[in-house]
Amino acid sequence: MDILSYIIIFTLIGSVISLTGGVLLLLKEKFALKISHYLTAFAAGALLATAFFDLLPEAFEFMEESGGDINIPLWSLVGILSFFLLERFIHHHHNHGNAEEKKAIIPLVIIGDTMHNFTDGVAIAATFLISVPLGIVTALAVAAHEIPQEIGDFGLMLNRGMARKKVLLINLYSSLAAMAGALLTYIYKDYIEGLLPLVLSLTAGFFIYIALANLIPEIHNREDQKVAFWETVMLFIGVFVVYFAISTLEGSH
């Protein structure tokens, strides 16, 4: 199978899997909210492991092979700060103003989620351009953290009075941005090939920020010690699953 086929299939897989969280919320709200805590913890571990075991090492290796001169730690930091600024923008509009202004959170969330999905597609395609195992691991890590995020997004839109069918359609269209990002990355691969270490570094920064700023704080805020314990276990399972996947996939190629 050629690289484009891998990119299309795994971008679709990532998009479809991510929507299962929201669909589950529509069908079984209590169950979805219950498991979302554990999925969040698993996703945090998966994202950190993907960033440190896969994306950053591949960025350094690719740069050395291509003879480039990209400051990988710097661009990882840029990735972290970029997501911070995006979230500050969204949170500012979410937490201030009257009731009418607060309704603006829905289009802001949609815009932010669409941008996020587009970035996910770029990351998936860029990593497949380097190696199939790296692309597979990245796609699965993206799907892992999108499931709890979609549960949150669906819940927010439903809470604001949006119809269930409309919520589903909006998130479906938003998820297609990942395919757009993936295809554009593949189409212009000849132009961005020298920038792949930069893209990997930015992606690692995104993953690190999402895990440390969004996902892990939810574990620390859990008052139920039993739930907090199992969330901690799920975080480490996320790390080990990705590490094992990386070792296995790289060993088979």
Cβ 135 vs Cβ 124: under 8 Å: yes
Give strand ranges (E) for 25-116: none
Q: What pLDDT, on the 0 to 100 scale, is given for residue 105?
A: 58
| Domain boundaries along the sequence of the chain | 3-251
Q: What's the whole-model pTM score? A: 0.74
| Measured distance CA(19)–CA(151) in Å, rounded | 8
Helix (H), strand (E), coil (C) string for 156-177: HHHHCCCCHHHHHHHHHHHHHH
Of the CA atoms within 13 Å of residue 50, those in its CB half-sphere come to 36
Give Dmax (Cα) for the chain.
57
- The 10s digit of each residue's pLDDT in 221-247 is 766 777 888 888 989 998 998 888 777
Q: CB burial class (10 A; 0-12, 13-18, 19+) of residue 60?
A: middle
Residue 68 main-chain phi, psi, to 5 deg: -80, 175
Q: According to the model, what pLDDT value does residue 108 have?
A: 63
Two structure tokens written together for 146:
């999108």
Tokens at residue 241, please?
């699953």
Q: Give the pLDDT score at 100.
A: 47
Q: For position 147, what pLDDT does the model report?
A: 77
Q: In this structure, what token pair is assigned to residue 203?
A: 């992606």
Angle at 214 between CA 210 and CA 215, to 5 degrees: 90
8 Å CB contact between 232 and 41 = yes
Q: What is the pLDDT of residue 101?
A: 45
* Whole-Å CA distances, 107 to 102, 148, 149, 158, 162: 10, 19, 16, 13, 12
Q: How would you label 191-230 residue by residue, b for 16+ Cβ within 10 Å and e otherwise?
A: ebeeebbbbbbbbbbbbbbbbeebbbebbeebeeeeebeb
Q: What is the pLDDT of residue 249?
A: 66
Where the chain has pLDDT below 70, the residues are 90-106, 108-109, 112, 156, 159-160, 222-223, 249-253
d(CA 145, CA 21): 10
| CB under 8 A, 24+ apart: contacts of 83-90 | 83/205, 83/206, 83/209, 83/210, 83/213, 84/209, 84/213, 86/112, 86/115, 87/112, 87/213, 87/214
Report the alpha-carbon distance of residue 8 to residue 14 in Å, rounded. 10
Could you tell me if 175 and 166 are in contact, meaning their C-beta atoms sit under 8 angstroms apart? no
pLDDT reported for residue 26: 78
- Both tokens of residue 211? 């895990």
Q: What is the pLDDT of residue 102?
A: 47
